[in-house]
Amino acid sequence: MTSRTWERFTPGQRLARFSIYLASVIALVVSMRTVQIVPEFLYDAPAQMADMFERMWPPDYAYYPGGVHEALVESMHIAGMGTILALVMSLPVALLAAKNITPVPALNWLARLILVSSRSVNTLVWAILFVAVFGPGALAGTIAIGFRSIGFCGKLLGEALEECNKGPVEALKAAGAPWPSIFLKAYWPQVSPAFWGITLFRWDINVRESAVIGLVGAGGIGMALDTAIDLFRWTQVSLILLCIFAVVIVAEIVVTKIRQKII
Amino acid sequence: MSAAITRRAFKPNWLARLGWLAVIGYCVLAFWSLDITWDRFVIGLENGAKFLGSMIPPNFERWKLLLGNLLETLEIAVIASAFGVALSLPIGLAASRNLMPTWATWPARIVIAICRSFHPVIFAILFVKAVGFGPLAGILTLVFASIGFIGKLFAEAIEEISLKPVEACRAAGAPFMSVILYAVLPQVLNRFIGFATYQFDANIRNSTMVGIVGAGGIGGTLFAAFQRFDYDFLAAILISIIVLVMLGEYLASIVKAVFND
Amino acid sequence: MTSPSNSGNGGGSSRSLIVKDLVKAYVPGKPVLKNISFEVRGCSTVAIIGPSGTGKSTLLRCINRLIDPTSGTITVAGHEITRLSGKDLRLARHHVGMVFQEFNLVERLSVIENVLCGRLGFVPVWRAWLRKFEQHDIERAFELIDMVGLTEFATQRADSLSGGQRQRVGIARAVMQNPDVIMADEPTSSLDPKTSVEIMGLLNDFSKAHDIPVLINIHDVNLAKRFADRVIGMSLGSIVFDGPPAELTDDHLKEIYGGEDWLS
């Protein structure tokens, strides 16, 4: 009598999974051996960190009105305007990337290339580029945030567009409606909840990003942070970090509340 | 139908109108307070054209340096992802309020919140001050960034699971770890792998950047090229970063496909 | 090519549909529609019956060019539309109203907005965007909503309606276009028997009221016999029966559908 066995995975699947485990382990081992770390620094690290925290406490609250407040507000504006800029730029790219809206493969590919490039280059790197073009200040920062966000918003928006129910689109096409009207009345009502959700999500991330782009000169609180670090004013550094933390937490609470109301 | 009785087809949505007015008003206010003027923008565009001109064609002469840096970037990402994923599993578990008592969830949630709220570059600066320049700072930075990201999403995923299998395992007298292994993990493993692959991808992107503050990887070379006005080399670096990131995304999608059954 | 003004004046010959030698082959050499020819004029409810896969849906979608025919001609209200493309095709589609099996409403919009979508081909985009439809359009939409019995639902969201109610909105939307022909692709397949009878009755009423030919794809033969004044039976892509329902015998049905068990 043959016994029946049960296997969770087919042999092919097992091989694939094992290969990935193996490859990951190899990658890890190779990396750890080739990366250049001075072990002494690693062992020294806890002591160094303790020393640093000691110097950072207590935070210099008095510094806030003069050195921090304006810069913080500037960062918030950069985040807000950058997100709005990104929305305006990413909508057309998302339309081009959605296969059901633009059935031209070359345009789809171009749109996806734009989205991938935007996502691959870090906000900080975009900030460096735009500081070179527009000079230091908030203009460079706003555009950097905008350009980085195109990839994020455009990809999610394009996916939402591709998942639209085709039925109403067919109905409006059969009624002889022009394409812009078909978009407004059949596609847009379906994607608009996703659109606003993506906007909020990205704004939340942009609040964090705009806080640090000042480190390369693109405006906002990052510039104050940069100054404080360069001058070794650790108590100011800790104040700035606390402010950033507070702003990020508040932004998250706001986003969560709005999400709960809309969805 | 009497002309006096006209029915309204669309009620005017005052909330939406107010919202749009507020957005436009805010844009005007923000532009003014950020001192963004049309002139600056136009001058910038001219600059930009010059800038773009000097970036083309990209200069790959120093490809050995480029490759070495890219490898270091990849190494930082791999090591940080491995340790970050490994650490975020227990921390995320500890942060889930439906399984753990408050003495475990509160510290875990605070750790995760701190890791998430700060941009990785801030961690990078602090770690560079603490452990010196080089990839070690970068690795530590990305470990913390990974804990923040994966930890939060993992905790949320665990909080969404059905507790019935957990109940069943506990009723059968299973020890704690077994309950986790058999009742909790199967429900969340797919999502955890999704988060882990996403974070690996993000770590590749982030590790290209932490070098700007001295934490190792290609970011340092990039910033140096920028400061020396080597814009054509800068273009080469940017292109290789994009290629590296796309490669990472591709690998991540393979891993997800294999493990998502 | 100029399209006739969509003024809504009846006239038996202006509301007509002529299909001649229509052939559609997705794969060359294996036609799904084989030389379909028929004519419909004026006030008339035509039921097209036949088994699944015999090309009924393809036929309907070839008529308004949602699918392109391989050969043959289609003439709506005196205008041949088979060769049109681009803007001309879009304008020509105004003459053919369509009702769908899955209703195809925009769920998040209100009933009245869905009905007004029937006019999207006639209003400029800015009016559609800002919802500033002209007063006569809005009044006509309310009229149609009253006629299909959904007066109290006019400003409710479409997804709060039942299946039968949604199909009524679909019919109102199609009539809103002021078409010369109405086509319904299995309008009752997603509905319960009582609602199906109501919907078929509604389509019949509109045909009589506006003197428009109505083509209905349907696989419930009893409904077809009850409400249609002409039945077209299709089998394997060709028309095998074309006449009044009284002449539709069991032999004909056997030929169309094959098998006997399902015959009551």
| C171-208: pLDDT as tens digits | 999 999 999 999 999 999 989 999 999 999 999 999 99
**Do residues C120 and A181 make contact, with C-beta atoms less than 8 angstroms apart?**
yes
Q: What is the pLDDT of residues A145-196, one digit of tens each?
A: 999 999 999 999 999 999 899 999 999 999 999 999 999 999 999 998 889 8
**DSSP count for chain B of H helices, then E strands:** 11, 0
The stretch A97-119 carries a mean pLDDT of 92
In a domain, C4, yes or no: no
The stretch A202-230 carries a mean pLDDT of 91
Amino acid at A223: M
Of C64, C103, C120, Cβ closest to residue A177: C120
The DSSP output letter for B6 is -
pLDDT surpassing 60 at residue A84:
yes
Report the predicted TM-score, pTM, of the whole model to 2 decimal places.
0.83
Q: What CATH number does residue C45 fall under?
A: 3.40.50.300
Burial of A13 (0-12, 13-18, 19+ CB in 10 A): middle
In a domain, C10, yes or no: no
Do B9 and C141 lie within an 8 Å CB cutoff? yes
Of A36, A215, A241, Cβ closest to residue B121: A215
In a domain, C75, yes or no: yes
pLDDT surpassing 90 at residue B174:
no
| Range of weakest confidence among A14-28, A188-202, B66-80, C108-122 | A14-28
Q: What is the pLDDT of residues A52-83, one digit of tens each?
A: 888 888 888 887 877 788 899 999 999 999 99
Q: What is the pLDDT of residues B7-39, one digit of tens each?
A: 777 887 888 888 889 888 888 888 888 777 788
**What beta strand segments (E) does B30-91 contain?**
none
Rounded CA gap, A123 and A220, in Å?
14
136-175 in chain A: CB under 8 A from chain C: 167-168, 170-175
Run of H or E residues at B217: none
Q: What is the pLDDT of residue B77?
A: 92
DSSP string, A92-158: HHHHHH-TTT---HHHHHHHHHHHHHHHHS-HHHHHHHHHHHH-SSHHHHHHHHHHHHHHHHHHHHH
Q: What is the pLDDT of residue C60?
A: 93
Q: What is the pLDDT of residues A230-263, one digit of tens each?
A: 898 888 889 999 999 999 999 989 998 888 887 6
Cβ-Cβ contacts under 8 Å, A133 against chain B:
44, 47-48, 51
**Do residues C118 and C203 make contact, with C-beta atoms less than 8 angstroms apart?**
no
Q: What is the pLDDT of residue C114?
A: 94
Domain residue limits at C132:
16-257
- Phi, psi for A109 (deg, rounded to 5): -65, -45
Of C149, C206, C162, the closest CA to residue C182 belongs to C206
Amino acid at A198: I
Domain ranges of chain B: 63-259
Number of domains composing chain C: 1
**Do residues B118 and B128 make contact, with C-beta atoms less than 8 angstroms apart?**
no
What's the mean per-residue pLDDT of chain B? 86
> Pairing between strand C96-99 and C181-185?
parallel
Rounded CA gap, A141 and A135, in Å?
10
Partners of chain A (3+ Cβ pairs below 8 A)? B, C
pLDDT surpassing 90 at residue C253:
no
Rounded CA gap, B196 and B248, in Å?
13
The DSSP output letter for C187 is T
What's the mean per-residue pLDDT of chain A? 88
| Range of weakest confidence among A61-70, B209-218, C116-125 | A61-70
Of C53, C48, C46, C73, the closest CA to residue C62 belongs to C73
Q: What CATH number does residue A153 fall under?
A: 1.10.3720.10
CA distance C263 to chain A (A): 33
Number of domains composing chain A: 1
pLDDT surpassing 90 at residue C42:
no
C80 three-class SS: strand
The DSSP output letter for C5 is P
In a domain, A94, yes or no: yes
Rounded CA gap, B135 and B128, in Å?
9
The DSSP output letter for A3 is P
- Phi, psi for B77 (deg, rounded to 5): -65, -45
CATH 2.40.160.40 fits B63-259, yes or no: no
Domain residue limits at A132:
60-262
Mutant choice from B7, B11, B13, B20 vs C, greatest count of C C-beta within 10 A: B7
Do A45 and B130 lie within an 8 Å CB cutoff? yes
Residue C256 tokens, joined: 């169309």
209-228 in chain A: CB under 8 A from chain B: 209, 211-212, 215-216, 219, 225
